[in-house]
């Protein structure tokens, strides 16, 4: 019987942080969770963070969105991101822009990604909707698709990977946009992650029965001497929100209707 040397699984390790859909300038942004994420990254020795897009919330993406914003206008939204996005020495954030970011581009050809990276040297803009980077010979792809949510959590990642020919496939695929957190290990030799979100469920999402998986990832992978991705670990840091409950003051009428008695 052929013996497989386990030395292939003892290569060089790499680590990065992963998140997406921060939607800054939305009333439902979670700056508290975002800041906690970067504190965790610093403590865990993460130097590179990949952001899957929708850094800011944009404008007129759907009907009624204007009522969910606390800051409007491309210039004002970019300034808010530059001022509020966490900045920790030694950590660089690499990001692409998503459909909310690109709402300014579609309306007035304003590239908010370029504006952000011109003002923040620790935030590197990689392009619109999709970008590839190489780490240790491993291709990592950030993707911000444009389709709506599917009934199955893994449907869109699977269909995306199935549509790629062999030479186009990344080793690691990071998918934003859907506000979901999911690990799909080694599907057609692609390790796929859905990035989660740093935005609470909005009224738009609630009306459309769309859940928000609030949290972020730390990913580690091992490359052997031939440059092959041999080991992959992903840890999700979840945040669970509490829904406020209104307490109705007791009175005689309610007690009678609800069947209460003294």
What's the pLDDT score for residue 256? 65
Q: Is residue 256 included in any domain, yes or no? A: no
Q: Is residue 42 included in any domain, yes or no? A: yes
What's the pLDDT score for residue 252? 65
pTM of the shown model: 0.91
What's the CATH code of the domain at 74? Answer: 3.60.21.10
Note the pLDDT tens digit of each residue in 5-41: 788 788 999 999 999 999 999 999 999 999 999 999 9
Q: Is residue 4 included in any domain, yes or no? A: no
Sign of CA dihedral 16, 162, 211, 183: negative
Residue range(s) defining the domain that contains residue 72: 12-241
β-strands 172-175, 190-195 pairing: parallel
């Amino acid at each position: 019987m052929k013996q497989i040397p386990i030395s292939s699984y003892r290569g060089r390790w790499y680590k990065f942080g992963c998140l997406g859909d921060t939607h800054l300038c939305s009333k439902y942004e979670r700056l508290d969770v975002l800041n906690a994420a970067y504190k965790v990254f610093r403590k865990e020795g993460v130097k590179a963070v990949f952001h899957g897009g929708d850094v800011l919330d944009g404008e007129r993406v759907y009907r009624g969105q204007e009522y969910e914003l606390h800051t409007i206008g491309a210039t004002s939204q970019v300034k808010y991101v530059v001022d509020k996005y966490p900045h920790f020495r030694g950590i660089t954030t690499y990001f692409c822009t998503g459909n909310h970011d690109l709402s300014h581009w579609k309306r007035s050809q304003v590239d908010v990604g370029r504006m952000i990276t011109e003002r923040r040297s620790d935030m590197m803009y990689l392009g619109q909707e999709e970008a590839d980077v190489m780490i240790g010979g491993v291709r990592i792809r950030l993707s911000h698709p444009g389709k709506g949510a599917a009934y199955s959590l893994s449907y869109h990642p699977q269909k995306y990977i199935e549509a790629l020919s062999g030479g186009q496939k990344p080793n690691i695929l990071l998918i934003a946009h859907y506000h979901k957190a999911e690990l799909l290990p080694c599907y057609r030799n692609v390790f796929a992650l859905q990035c989660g979100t740093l935005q609470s469920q909005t009224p738009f999402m609630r009306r459309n029965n769309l859940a928000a998986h609030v949290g972020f990832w730390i990913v580690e992978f091992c490359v052997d001497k031939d440059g092959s991705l041999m080991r992959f670990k992903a840890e999700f840091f979840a945040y669970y929100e509490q829904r406020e409950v209104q307490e109705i003051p007791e009175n005689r009428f309610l007690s009678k209707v609800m069947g209460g008695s003294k």
